[in-house]
Amino acid sequence: DAGVIQSPRHEVTEMGQEVTLRCKPISGHDYLFWYRQTMMRGLELLIYFNNNVPIDDSGMPEDRFSAKMPNASFSTLKIQPSEPRDSAVYFCASSYFRLAETTDTQYFGPGTRLTVL
Amino acid sequence: LAKTTQPISMDSYEGQEVNITCSHNNIATNDYITWYQQFPSQGPRFIIQGYKTKVTNEVASLFIPADRKSSTLSLPRVSLSDTAVYYCLVVPYGGFKTIFGAGTRLFVKA
């Protein structure tokens, strides 16, 4: 399997522009997560989906951030308008849960490094 | 979600065994203990998970005492490539809302 795929790997944009990050989870996984990592705040869970439905978005910093999962193989995280403080590495992860197994193991993508000037 | 506490950083030398202890005093009955590893410029990677006693895989061992209020990740004979940040997480069975703390930054020297 190719693992979790994220695009772009690097994004540089100017303040006020719209930014869209993309993620393709591992086939067969029914959970998808978006994280943000900065030196100051560490790795933060922004939102996660189960079967394409957002379950918990309490980590989304503000209304400028939105996430969608139109189908089982694709998700987007959008920032509009972007600000310099949004500069971070954004990770997507996917997982699955089966009753006979223990708790989750999340598989992370390579991340998108976002720089907002 | 139970809060975890682990050392901010540790240094070791190649070939040594490294033990990283994590404290989770408020762990609940249905919580599991999970460790992830993160190399620079990569996403975290699952290492090992356990509920009680000892778990071993090809990468590490996880020791959990009977009261489960702490756990120790043991890396045998580390190499330079084990330099990474190691995160201890407590996650409820069937739960997916994960909180990554600051982790332990392990630096392995030659």
| Residue ranges of chain A with per-residue pLDDT less than 50 | none
Q: Sort A14 into a burial class: Cβ within 10 Å, 0-12 / 13-18 / 19+.
A: exposed
| Cα–Cα distance measured from residue B97 to residue A48, given in angstroms and rounded to the nearest whole number | 8
B104: left (phi over 0), alpha (psi -120 to 50) or beta: beta
Predicted confidence at residue A66, as pLDDT, reads 97
How many contacts, defined by CB atoms under 8 Å, are there between A and B?
A: 62
Chain A residue with minimal CA distance to B33? A103
Chain B, nearest residue to A91 by Cα: B43
Length, in residues, of chain A: 117
Instruction: Name the pairing type of β-strands A10-13 and A112-116.
Output: parallel
Element (H, E) at A93: strand A88-95
pLDDT at B1 over 70: no
pLDDT tens readout for residues B48-107: 999 998 999 999 999 999 999 999 999 999 999 999 999 999 988 777 778 888 899 999
Q: Which tokens hold the place of A13?
A: 């944009």
- Per residue in B13-54, pLDDT (tens digit) is 999 999 999 999 999 998 899 999 999 989 999 999 999 989
Give the per-residue pLDDT at B35. Answer: 95
Q: What pLDDT shows up at residue A1? A: 63
Structural contact between residues A51 and A110, judged by C-beta atoms closer than 8 angstroms: no
